[in-house]
Amino acid sequence: MLTRIALVSGLYDIAVGLVLLTAAPALARLFGAPPLTPAVFGDTNALFLIVVGMGYWKPWRDPVAHRWYLWLMGPLLKGGGAVVFVRDMWMRDSPASFLLFALSDGALALWTLWALLRTRHQALPTPAPPHIER
């Protein structure tokens, strides 16, 4: 389950980052928003998303050893991002189409949280048996 979440979340972040990096004006038009000014803000956000997505490679390979990354980037970052998108719509009147990002980030955050809580006992280290000398 955590492996699948790492794969989906990583591909999602990389895909959104690549679209933002290569087609930011078209993406803004699609969502009914003005182009980002200065454009470097969009470029740095795109870079951030791509690197976060690449970071999912480690938990995809070994989700037990890299649970910390799933906690940070799932419930905390994606969950926080969902809250920020909703808050921005209500407080700053951003386009309602931005709720698509709140929905996708929120769904990934909840899925990750559920899986992390469901598998929390798998992450506990097994104590080594005591060494007995004769």
DSSP-derived secondary structure for 46-96? HHHHHHHHHHTHHHHH-TTTTHHHHHIIIIIIIHHHHHHHHHHHHHH---G
Burial of 39 (0-12, 13-18, 19+ CB in 10 A): exposed
Instruction: Tell me, yes or no, if the pTM score tops 0.95.
Output: no
> How confident is the model over 49-103, as pLDDT tens digits?
999 999 999 999 999 999 999 999 999 999 999 999 999 989 998 888 889 999 9
